Amino acid sequence: MTKPHLFLAVLLLTLGSCERGAEADLQYIKQARSIAAEWALVNELDAQHRLNRTYVDSMHIWLADGLTSSFAALSQPQSDYGAEMKALLAAPAGSPADELRAHAERLKQIEDRLESA
């Protein structure tokens, strides 16, 4: 393969991998959205004193682990969805439910956009 052809092949592969990156990340975006929504519910119920402390603390650990794993698996962590996941990772465990739901909604909008592309 000549140098111009090799360059073109590498360029096409690079461009193709960018498109597949977001599509490949879709499963992690969905996981993060689900985690944010579940986290919001746990915190809402905790604020209403409907859950015991051990359960809440265990859920916070479990949800943080899932979110960390989803973020680590992203092929494009510098994306808009990566930034949203970073914001969730930086949020305190006891964050208000409405803030967590706002993150979940932004992830849902990204998810819908990627699915319709």
Residue 16's pLDDT band, with cuts at 50, 70 and 90, is very low
Give the pLDDT of residue 1. 54
- pLDDT, residue 40, reads 98
Q: Contact at 8 Å (CB) between 44 and 97? A: yes
For residue 34, the model assigns a pLDDT of 98
Q: What six digits make up the tokens of 40?
A: 């919001």
Token pair recorded at residue 58: 């265990």
When pLDDT is cut at 50, 70 and 90, the band that residue 117 belongs to is confident
DSSP letters for 36-48: HHHHHHHHHHHHT
* Per-residue pLDDT reduced to its tens digit, 21-58: 889 999 999 999 999 999 999 999 999 999 999 999 99
Other Cβ atoms closer than 10 A to 40: 20
**CA pair distance 52, 33, nearest whole angstrom:** 24
Q: Is the pTM of this model over 0.95?
A: no
The one-character DSSP state at 93 is T
